Amino acid sequence: MKSPGFIYILIILSFLFHRCGSGEDRVRQQAGPSNVVEKTEIKIPGFNADSAFYFVEKQVSFGPRVPNTEEHRACGDWLEAKLRAYADTLYVQPARVRAWDGTVLNIRNFIGSFKPDKTNRILLCAHWDSRPWADRDPDPANHYKPFDGANDGASGVGVLLEIARLLSIHEPAIGVDIIFFDAEDYGEHENSRGFDRDSWALGSQHWARSPHRPDYMARFGILLDMVGASGASFRHEGYSMMYAPNIVRKVWARAQRLGFGHFFINDEGGHVIDDHYYINTIRNIPTINIIDQRVETPHGFFPYWHTMKDNMDIIDISTLYAVGKTVTHIVYEEGR
């Protein structure tokens, strides 16, 4: 039999173990939505979907963000101020680019850098402009009218602004760059005679050839496009799988572990010419696209793509939350 002294020691150790375990449980219970504690002891701040929704709504309040318009300029000024307030360093990259129809567009890319001295970096991006024409609207009378672009443009920026806010409060272990690209959606009109894929993503093409730092490189990138609509389905986009399949698998696996498998579907999607295509092919940074792709629509995107109904009525806070929380976890887990 064991000696009474040994039993006494066991009682003390058991008591201490119970207290420590209870303390950890209390931390987990009290953390709530703003402070998730992983088993690896990485503290991941909670993504606030209400905040992201506000950022989407604020962009839409300026009106359609079509280059060369007052609404575009005003929204750009607001984005510059917000990103400057959050980032350690802000780069504004103005440019003049020529659109497919000959129009010279005055554009601005905004780059917010967190921990700019770090060589270990990741890139997060979205486009902040909106399409000049609702050329997919069921009513032909709307085919040359601008629209809000709440999902197609503003949703990705809204998610990244909330992540920027978190990064300003909870310092990441790695360098992070958040880029808002301009003139992504000024591609050829549906009624034009041909299809020039390089007429799209003009801001990211310019940045990829002339980045804010000549030697800029990141380990990988994540593009967010159309990440706010109800019923979204994020499939494995084709160019993402071509250039960065391991990043696709990492992000989708994390989303599914977080309980978002109904959004992040392990299924093949189409190849989409988007900002990530030029980051991959010109800048050689392996970059994926989290983009809403639907099998039930004729064009393969959300039902109101490039129509007048792409407004705040279709924005679903649960979709913003699923994407935002997933990307937040990826960012903070990269510091392990």
Fill in the DSSP letter of residue 273. -
pLDDT digits (tens, 9 = 90+) for 280-327: 999 999 999 999 999 999 999 999 999 999 999 999 999 999 999 999
Tokens (6 digits) for 74: 């005003």
User: Is a pLDDT exceeding 70 seen at residue 29?
Assistant: no
Token pair recorded at residue 274:
């988007």
Quickly list DSSP for 218-235: -SEEEEEES--BTT--EE
Pair 207, 93: CB distance under 8 Å: yes
Give residue 112's pLDDT. 98
For 36-40, 108-112, 130-134, 198-202, which range has the lowest pLDDT when averaged over its residues? Answer: 36-40
**What average pLDDT does the segment 210-221 reach?**
97
User: Which CATH fold topology does 38-333 show?
Assistant: Aminopeptidase (3.40.630)
Q: In this structure, what DSSP letter does residue 336 have? A: -
Tokens of 54: 């506000």
Predicted local distance difference test score (pLDDT) of residue 5: 37
Q: Where are the domains of the chain?
A: 1-34, 38-333
pLDDT score recorded for residue 13 = 35
- What mean pLDDT do residues 164-178 have? 97
CA 125 vs CA 43, 121, 136, 236: distances in Å: 23, 13, 25, 18
Please provide the average confidence, as pLDDT, over all residues in the chain.
Answer: 90
C-alpha span between 173 and 99 (Å, rounded): 40
pLDDT at residue 195 in the model: 78
Lowest-confidence pick of 10-19, 165-174, 238-247, 324-333: 10-19
pTM (2 decimals)?
A: 0.88
Mean pLDDT value of segment 136-141: 98
Greater model confidence, 170 or 26? 170
CA geometry: angle 14, 16, 18, nearest 5 deg: 70
Q: What is the DSSP string of 36-53?
A: EE-TT--EEEPP-HHHHH
Per the CB < 8 A criterion, the answer to whether 301 and 269 are in contact is no
Overall average pLDDT of the 190-202 stretch: 89
pLDDT higher than 70, residue 143 = yes
To the nearest whole percent, how much of the chain has pLDDT over 90?
85
Q: Which runs of E-coded beta strand occur in the chain?
A: 35-37, 43-45, 89-98, 104-114, 121-127, 175-181, 220-225, 234-236, 264-268, 287-291
Q: What is the rounded CA–CA span in Å between residue 110 and residue 90?
A: 7
User: What's the confidence (pLDDT) of residue 246?
Assistant: 98
Find out whether 201 and 266 touch, Cβ atoms under 8 Å. no
Condensed to tens digits (0 to 9), the pLDDT of residues 54-102 reads 999 999 999 999 999 999 999 999 999 999 999 999 999 999 999 999 9
Task: Give the pLDDT confidence of 223-241 residue by residue, as tens digits.
Answer: 999 999 999 999 999 999 9
Residue 41's pLDDT is 66
Using the predicted structure, report yes or no on whether residue 209 has a pLDDT greater than 50. Answer: yes
The model's pLDDT over 241-272, given as tens digits with 9 standing for 90+, comes to: 999 999 999 999 999 999 999 999 999 999 99
Q: CA-to-CA distance for 79 and 260, rounded, in angstroms? A: 29
